[in-house]
Amino acid sequence: MTDALWYFARGSGVVSLVLLTVVVALGIGARSGRTAFGLPRFAVNLLHRNAALLAVVFLAGHVVSLLFDPYAQLRVFDLVLPFAGNYRPVWQGLGTLAFDLLLAIVITSLLRKRLGARVWRIVHWLAYLCWPVALLHGLGTGSDNGTVWLWTISALCTLLVVAAVGWRLAPSFSRFPERARRHINPRLLPAPTPALTQPGTPSQPGTPPQPGTPPQPGTPPPAHFGARASAQPGSYEEVR
Amino acid sequence: MSHAETTRIGRGQEPASRRLHVDWTACDGRGLCAELLPELLTEDDWGFPVARGDMTVPPALEPAARQAVDRCPALALRLVSERPAPASS
């Protein structure tokens, strides 16, 4: 029984690494806008999401089986706190770090609509850190770290991701390479506070301007005065 | 279709018409929506979605529209329900 836990932990770790490799490659390919890997774009998107969730399932199996494994001797806080373990703390800590990063990526993806696209995308870039850390963890710890088959799998995974990154950086990656970058008119950016734009205002740096305060005599009204007056609520409401 | 919606239609009331709305400042032209909703959207020469009609979503296409909204990488597609226009205007 104790051997079963150890074997399951090793197997599920390798499976989740392979799945994460596929997820990273699909995620890079989905950025292209072309029909990558011979799939429609929505299929790349859905496969990326579903493979990632499946990788989380295998990773949960990997972590839980190691928690109950008498050989690994993990404590509960070893699952989230990296580099604190007793056995090969650095290599095991890399796995913990990758686990934490993956949790952050998955949770922000599930809450993407509430967080907004910008926060979600910034956290999602952590995948480029998460995947190499997970790969190193697999190479450095466990009882398979010197075997030919694990090195072969790791090399193939690395090859796939390096090829995807190379394709990402190639000029032929984008579907519309000549599409102009979007420029935003500075007037449409969020307006700075009047205290910063008006050097002559007597307001102190520590006191923010009150919304209801009338303009001081002698100071012209801010340039964006009345810019928000046109913001009327629309005649529609969003469907949840 | 949900139970509440069927009863509402059964009472003879007009169901709220759903409409697709593209936030053009957020849209990146990734093209997923035109793939998932070819009945309502097509692509222009630059990969951005173009409405085939007036973007009103028929009830039969609502699940597909919801999936297109859910899959938009830029969160630029929304499903809005139009209130009936005031009679004076």
DSSP element (H, E) containing B22:
strand B18-22
Within a domain: A202 = no
Per-residue confidence (pLDDT) for residue B8, from 0 to 100: 45
Within a domain: A113 = yes
Per-residue confidence (pLDDT) for residue A100, from 0 to 100: 95
Per-residue confidence (pLDDT) for residue A35, from 0 to 100: 73
Search chain A and give the residue with CA nearest B64: A42
Whether the full predicted model's pTM is greater than 0.90, yes or no, is no
Within a domain: A104 = yes
- As a whole number, mean pLDDT of residues B12-17 equals 61
DSSP β-bridge partners for residue B43 = B49
Q: Set out the domains of chain B in order of their start, with CATH numbers.
A: 15-81 (3.30.70.20)
Q: Does B35 sit within 8 Å of A42, measured CB to CB?
A: yes
Q: What is the ipTM of this complex?
A: 0.75
CA B20 from chain center: how many Å? 3
Kindly list the residues of chain B whose beta carbon comes within 8 Å of any beta carbon in chain A.
18-19, 21, 26, 29-32, 35-36, 46-47, 71, 73-75, 78-83, 85
Q: Which positions in chain A touch B81 (Cβ < 8 Å)? A: 236-237, 239
10-residue mean pLDDT series, chain A (240 residues)? 85 95 93 77 93 96 90 81 82 92 95 92 94 93 82 94 90 69 71 57 48 49 45 49
Instruction: Tell me the C-alpha to C-alpha distance, in Å, between residue A236 and each of A116, A163, B18, B56, B77.
Output: 20, 46, 10, 13, 14
**Maximum distance among all alpha carbons in chain A?**
84
With a cut of 80, say whether residue B30 has pLDDT above it.
yes
- Local structure of A137: helix, strand or coil: helix
Q: Which positions in chain B touch A26 (Cβ < 8 Å)? A: none
Per-residue confidence (pLDDT) for residue A43, from 0 to 100: 92
Q: Which positions in chain A touch B21 (Cβ < 8 Å)? A: 236
Within a domain: A123 = yes
Within a domain: A186 = no
- As a whole number, mean pLDDT of residues B23-37 equals 91
How many domains does one find in chain A?
Answer: 1
Per-residue confidence (pLDDT) for residue B72, from 0 to 100: 93
Per-residue confidence (pLDDT) for residue B4, from 0 to 100: 45
Specify the pairing of strand B56-57 against strand B77-82.
unpaired
The residues, ordered by sequence, that sit 6+ positions from A170 with a Cβ below 8 Å of its Cβ are none
Residue numbers of the domain that contains A124? 2-169
Asked if B74 contacts B17 with a C-beta cutoff of 8 angstroms, the reply is no
Per-residue confidence (pLDDT) for residue A174, from 0 to 100: 76
Within a domain: A181 = no
Within a domain: A141 = yes
Within a domain: A97 = yes
Instruction: Tell me the C-alpha to C-alpha distance, in Å, between residue A197 and each of A178, A207, A209, A220.
Output: 37, 15, 12, 11
